[in-house]
Structure 1
Amino acid sequence: MEERKVYLDKHTNLLQLEEHMYPLVEVSQPNVFRNLFRYDEIPKIAFNDRIVPHSMPDEIWITDTTFRDGQQSRAPYSTEQIVTLFDYFHKLGGPNGKIRQSEFFLYSKKDRDAVYKCMERGYQFPEVTSWIRASKKDFQLVKDIGLKETGILVSCSDYHIFYKLKKTRREAMEHYLSVIRECLETGVSPRCHLEDITRSDIYGFVIPFCLELMNLMEEYQIPIKIRVCDTMGYGVNYPGAVIPRSIPGIIYGLRVHAGVPSSLIEFHGHNDFYKAVSNSTTAWLYGASGVNCSLFGIGERTGNTPLEAMVFEYAQIRGTLDGMDTTVISELADYYEKEIGYRVPSRTPFVGRNFNVTRAGIHADGLLKNEEIYNVFDTDKFLNRPPLVAVSNTSGLAGIAHWINCYFRLPREVHVDKSSPLVCAVKEWVDKEYEEGRVTVLTDGELVEVIEELCRKNGWKSPAEPVQEA
């Protein structure tokens, strides 16, 4: 019996015992994990308390699918809009290229025109990459355009293999490997999209398949990426949860048992169970270098992992933005609203109109005393979005004072407070509005008009007037 090799793991600096090989497990009937996924019941999250270690890669990054998955749930972007957004991604990613790639369709002339124009920008990052059908014609198209990499769909759950493709596991694997070999023959690096991985047989199909992919990579000396696609959002980040729902377990299996380097593992999440962000961060923590995102989470069904969310997740777990320019996120939100006509839901974190707006008077009083009490971080610095108070019948004097200071961006030395005659006069007007039956929040335009009228009538200095320098 052949002895297993002992080797030094360069990441942990611990001696490891080489694992047994994992052969494909052929089955006559599909394993659809009915114990977890009964269609007439809510999916179950089971635990076996098998814990795998954190293994944060030396470098992590974000990749973008706004122009691929993001376009599957909305009207297509124009070529000009795509190029503008691509410019924004370049600026947001900063000099270290934290927005590493942007993924495009190549089906239509409009798609290809956008690819050419984005490539003409000459940016190192985001790198332009593609998603194609598994055909020689499409592979050649990728090569002709000059792309180095393309995504290829390789569905890996028995739901897809048996019910959609009507194949056995071995037939599916052999088909996928032949398609990937064709891609490698053209000199293009394949990115294998393991669709529906969180309902797949991880050690009966996924690990054996990825071992074969690593053999092909060694044979052709061309990188092969593994995209971990949580297609239905079933993935969970809880320690000790069982596979196939465990994101830590899947990433660990790919790294340790299939030998896939962290730099070639990328997580792609969906938000069906509100877990896209936490699962993406978990993928980073357990060894995936890349997380694939869509701007504002726009994507199929409930959407993908929001790109802007992962920018702030990156900063939280690494302690730095590594050069990312977060003010671009607010510019992108304005562009979507004014140029594309898409309104981000008002309470969406970081980008919604009301994400750092408070309506409660007692909270507004806290903001007036120290904005750290009710604001997540310096949103003015990082997003050009100072915390605001929506003025209504519950805002009180503190809320009105805070609104005036923030709306007119008054320097701290000339801030108005609750005792200001202007604030008191506006409060009287607000109270009268609601006493007469108003039920809606006051608009910025209404408040500005009232403030200007009160200042003219009483001879007060308008907060809109520039502050004189000493």
Structure 2
Amino acid sequence: MEARKVQKNDFTNLLELEEHIYPLVDVDTPNVYRNLFPYDEIPKIAFNDRIVPHNMQNEIWITDTTFRDGQQSRTPYTTEQIVKIYDYLHRLGGPKGIIRQSEFFLYSKKDRDAVYKCLEKGYKFPEITSWIRASKKDFELVKEIGLKETGILVSCSDYHIFYKMKMTRKQALTHYLSVIRECLETGISPRCHFEDITRADIFGFVIPFCVELMKLMNEYQIPIKIRACDTMGYGVNFAGAVIPRSVQGIIYGLIKHAGVPSELIEWHGHNDFYKAVSNSTTAWLYGACGVNCSMFGIGERTGNTPLEAMVFEYAQLKGTLDGMDTTVITELVEYYQKEIGYKLPSRTPFAGSSFNVTRAGIHADGLLKNEEIYNIFDTEKFLNRPPLVAVSKTSGLAGIAHWINNYYHLDEERQVTKDSELVAIVKEWVDKEYEDGRITVITDNELVCVVTDSCKKLGFIL
């Protein structure tokens, strides 16, 4: 066997052995990694302690799937709602366009109307991209509308290739390449959605497939993106975990072994095992420039990576928001609740009604003295959401006054004090609740009712 050559890596300036060539490994029976995914047991996380280096790129960004994956698990948005949310995403992403793209269905007239109305906005970011069936007719539709890129489903695990498509790996590869070539022939840039990559044979199918895609990209001189889809949420970010579950290993393999540029790699996560956010951040850290998210994580089953979460992950990694307007997140919460009728769970980070509400008595005391003690950051500055103290039997007049002032966003001239008649009435009601045996904190809805009734009796409006 001929020895591999030693050559210099211009990125690390280290001598390395020449890369292995990874040919397609066609198999007669599917490899479904039954040792990792036994199905009648909980999936297993195995380790081989193979470590890959951090490789975060200078530019990283967010892409949006609110109107695609986000619509697969709920009542479809109206055209007007899509346009309004798109406006919010544009503002949230800021002048640098950190929210780089947003993908749209093109199947129905309603979908296409939304695309046309969003295109009329003339925004550079988020760029509008599409998701279509892999057919010549749909490629022409993308071109006719004036979009530059479209998503194409290329399922890559043997679960899908053998059981859903009833093909072999070679047949699937041949089929996918012919479809992608058709797309390139129309001048459209394909975004290949590698469905179920965390159960796929990375070296036997994924990398050989990506190598062929890079050849097509060079031939047509049109970018081909790879979206690594953790369709079932099996990805893990633990150092030394084995592929195909290792996020680091997948991203490293795409870059190092398949030669896919970082700017053409996106991670698309699902939250089945509560790892969507940490896995997306890990994809950034190890070389993917894009992470694909949906607003509030709304998506298939347990949902996608929440877009608002990655806004704050970006800021923590980069040390700056780079112009993103995070107050838009709160506006979106209100829009979803009032106009769409979608209410977020109260403890949803950054967005739920109770995410920065302190309930424990001793915590409330600390928060009243200095909000930094129990608030994650200046939530009033970044989200227009000042920290709140939940009212209980230990809140006292000062605690109730604090709740009223913050909940109703009262400016300094209109704020109530502990000597206010309104506060005294509310305190009397609270005391009666606990005298009657109550042991839980008072909810915001209860307080709003009491405050509203009390204001009517006193003849003024907050």
Q: Is the 8 A contact 2:422 2:455 kept in 1?
A: no
Provide the rounded CA distance (Å) in 2 between the counterparts of 1:212 and 1:94.
Answer: 36
SS in 1 for 2:217: helix
| Residue 81 (structure 2) aligns with | 81
Q: Would the alpha carbon gap of residues 416 and 160 (structure 1) be closer, same or farther in structure 2, given more than 3 Å must change?
A: same
The alignment of Structure 1 onto Structure 2 pairs a total of residues equal to 458
Q: Is the 8 A contact 2:6 2:15 kept in 1?
A: no
Q: Is the 8 A contact 1:130 1:142 kept in 2?
A: yes
Moved more, 35-44 or 16-25: 16-25
Moved more, 43-52 or 422-431: 422-431
| Residue 451 (structure 2) aligns with | 448
Q: Is the 8 A contact 2:54 2:287 kept in 1?
A: yes
| Cα deviations by residue, 1:275-318 (Å, 9 ceiling, x for unpaired) | 00000000000000000000010001110000011001100111
Q: In structure 2, what residue type is equivalent to 1:28?
A: D
| Cα deviations by residue, 1:71-101 (Å, 9 ceiling, x for unpaired) | 0001111111111111111000000000100
| Cα deviations by residue, 1:358-414 (Å, 9 ceiling, x for unpaired) | 222221111110001111111100000111122233544553242133235456799
SS in 2 for 1:82: helix
Q: Is the 8 A contact 1:364 1:398 kept in 2?
A: no
| Residue 133 (structure 1) aligns with | 133
SS in 2 for 1:193: strand
Q: In structure 2, what residue type is equivalent to 1:259?
A: G
Q: Does 1:178 align with 2:169?
A: no
Q: In structure 1, what residue type is equivalent to 2:369?
A: K
Q: Would the alpha carbon gap of residues 414 and 373 (structure 1) be closer, same or farther in structure 2, given more than 3 Å must change?
A: farther
Q: Would the alpha carbon gap of residues 71 and 423 (structure 1) be closer, same or farther in structure 2, given more than 3 Å must change?
A: same
Q: Would the alpha carbon gap of residues 189 and 323 (structure 1) be closer, same or farther in structure 2, given more than 3 Å must change?
A: same
| Residue 9 (structure 2) aligns with | 8
| Residue 273 (structure 1) aligns with | 273
Unmatched 5+ stretches in structure 2: none
Provide the rounded CA distance (Å) in 2 between the counterparts of 1:415 and 1:13.
Answer: 63
SS in 1 for 2:223: coil
Q: Does 1:39 align with 2:42?
A: no
How big is the shift at 1:202? 0.4
Q: Is the 8 A contact 1:9 1:15 kept in 2?
A: no
Q: Would the alpha carbon gap of residues 110 and 463 (structure 1) be closer, same or farther in structure 2, given more than 3 Å must change?
A: closer
| Residue 251 (structure 1) aligns with | 251
Provide the rounded CA distance (Å) in 1 between the counterparts of 2:5 and 2:419.
Answer: 78
SS in 1 for 2:268: strand
Note the 1:317-332 alignment, pairs <5 A.
317-332=317-332
Identity %: 77
| Residue 168 (structure 1) aligns with | 168
SS in 1 for 2:336: helix
Q: Is the 8 A contact 1:422 1:454 kept in 2?
A: no
Unmatched 5+ stretches in structure 1: 457-461, 465-470
Q: Is the 8 A contact 1:392 1:441 kept in 2?
A: no
Q: In structure 2, what residue type is equivalent to 1:294?
A: S
How big is the shift at 1:428? 3.4
Q: Would the alpha carbon gap of residues 384 and 7 (structure 1) be closer, same or farther in structure 2, given more than 3 Å must change?
A: same
Q: Is the 8 A contact 2:94 2:323 kept in 1?
A: yes
| Residue 366 (structure 2) aligns with | 366
Provide the rounded CA distance (Å) in 2 between the counterparts of 1:370 and 1:420.
Answer: 23
- RMSD of Structure 2 on Structure 1 (CA): 2.2
SS in 1 for 2:300: coil
Q: Is the 8 A contact 1:426 1:450 kept in 2?
A: no
